[in-house]
Structure 1
């Protein structure tokens, strides 16, 4: 039996609006947190330590 277009649209809407369960949500592990922390620190240090060299970098 064929479904009406409105029934198909309602099923599609329901499937798109369902919330995820706790088992499906990704976790922020300690390793990921530390990697992000170290990466952020390196980026900030790179900007900070390059400031005195900006004049020399601009000349090249």
Structure 2
């Protein structure tokens, strides 16, 4: 089973990250970023629509 062996090698190679992901309450900021993206989408498509979005995001 070469695919299983590759998985095991990957886990062993990054063992510290695996342990942190299983033991810490926040293993990364990915969840926080997703929450911010959802909030921004609600503001864009909510009652205020694109008017609020234009105020929030400066023109590039």
TM-score interval, smaller chain: 0.3 to 0.5
The alignment's TM-score, normalised by the length of structure 2, stands at 0.39
Task: Specify which structure has the bigger relative contact order, considering alpha-carbon pairs within 8 angstroms and separated by 6 or more residues.
Answer: 2
Find the structure with the greater CA-based Rg: 1
The alignment's TM-score, normalised by the length of structure 1, stands at 0.39
